[in-house]
Amino acid sequence: MKQVEIGNPEQGLDGLNVNDVAPPPEPKAHEIMVELHASSLNYHDYGVASGTMKAPAGRILMSDGAGVVKAVGSEVTTFKEGDNVVSVFFPDWQTGAPTIGDFSRTPGDGIDGYAREFVTVPASWFTRAPKDWSHSQAATITTAGMTAWRALVVEGNLKPGDTVLLLGTGGVSIYGLQIAKAMGARVAITSSSDEKLEKAKALGADFTVNYKKDENWGKTVSEWTGGHGVDHVVEVGGPATLGQSIKATRVGGSIVLIGVLTGIGGEVPTALLMRKQIRLTGVIVGSHQHQVEFVNALDQMNFTPEIDRAFALDKLADAFRYEESGEHFGKIVVEY
């Protein structure tokens, strides 16, 4: 079978190898064998593949994997042969409060991932996929979809009529837009591209702002709410954007920090954060139970994820280069 792994970690994307290897073993009692058909690219995957996040030579890439069950172990009751399934980001975090603070057990980073055609793993490492979704669509759930769901629903307790601010038009933010609109919320979204903002409007965004043209976009978003401030912010930037997000948020509102695209450290206006009594929460994706609940919700929601472009598995390095360009809107996937 075909798989993509890190060759020389020092070479970044040029050091990725596409290898033909023997298929995995038949599943043991509590395992399943999955024929994988798709994965989706995330900033975290890019960090591993490019060498920014150090992983050893031979590591099989990609945290997201969707496909069909080909065989089940004798003790597996959750799946049967032919079921469409999608992987979870933290295989060991099944339910309850967070249990891990790093990526040591995340597929495609601390352990081997899903850039391969078949995998045999414990059944608990997967959930079912949404009904009638393609494998490429389902592959976007593991990281981006789950992050948006946890930020808005699990941590934010999103309700109809709430106001939401999303930063940028990457996978998590566009998923957040679609989830929020499906749940009856009003959404503001930022971008440096007017063309992408028009695409966001077509998906239902109620208010848009170009942060390159409006450096005080936090105040602008607050004014959109009549000066009240938004209820929820899904914060992907980190130190360079957090101050504006605080300005945009209402007293007693929620900011969920899900990314640090602008760096891992910097100044935070702590006095304003305190005066506004904002709840600032850091999250990394979610648990198996969160994903089960998300998939159940998706079965009732009338949308499918926004996929920008698909690449073949053996063109994974090219897919990452496209992600690196920042031209995409929504998700980039690989299909195999």
Answer whether residue 171 shows pLDDT above 70.
Answer: yes
Beta strand pairing call for 186-191 and 163-167: parallel
Mean pLDDT of the chain: 96
| Cβ density class 247-282: b for 16+ within 10 Å, e for less | bbbbeebbbbbbbbeeeeeeeeeeeebeebebebbe
pLDDT value of position 326: 92
Confidence band for 270, pLDDT divided at 50, 70 and 90? confident
Q: What percent of the chain has pLDDT over 90?
A: 93
Rounded to two decimals, the pTM is: 0.95
- Long-range CB pairs of 241-244, under 8 A, 24+ apart, other chains included: 241/167, 242/266, 242/268, 243/218, 243/267, 243/268, 243/269, 243/272, 244/211, 244/216, 244/217, 244/218
| Whether the predicted pLDDT of 163 surpasses 80 | yes
pLDDT interval class at 109 (50, 70, 90): very high
Give me the pLDDT at residue 261, please.
64
CA pair distance 2, 238, nearest whole angstrom: 37
Q: Tens digit of pLDDT for each residue in 237-263?
A: 778 899 999 999 999 999 999 986 666
Say what the pLDDT of residue 262 is: 62
Q: How far apart are the first and last CA of the chain?
A: 11
Q: How confident is the model at residue 234 (pLDDT cuts 50, 70, 90)?
A: very high
pLDDT digits (tens, 9 = 90+) for 112-161: 999 999 999 999 999 999 999 999 999 999 999 999 999 999 999 999 99
The per-residue pLDDT for range 8-31, each reduced to its tens digit, is 989 999 999 999 999 999 999 999
Q: What is the rounded distance in angstroms from the CA atom of residue 174 to the CA atom of residue 181?
A: 11
Average pLDDT score over residue span 47-66: 96
Percent of the chain with pLDDT over 70: 98
Q: What pLDDT score does 239 carry?
A: 81
Q: Mean pLDDT, to the nearest integer, of 277-285?
A: 95
Distance, in Å, from the CA atom of 77 to the CA atom of 72, rounded to the nearest integer, reads 9
Task: Please write the tens of the pLDDT for every residue from 186-229.
Answer: 999 999 999 999 999 999 999 999 999 999 999 999 999 999 99
At residue 240, the pLDDT reads 85
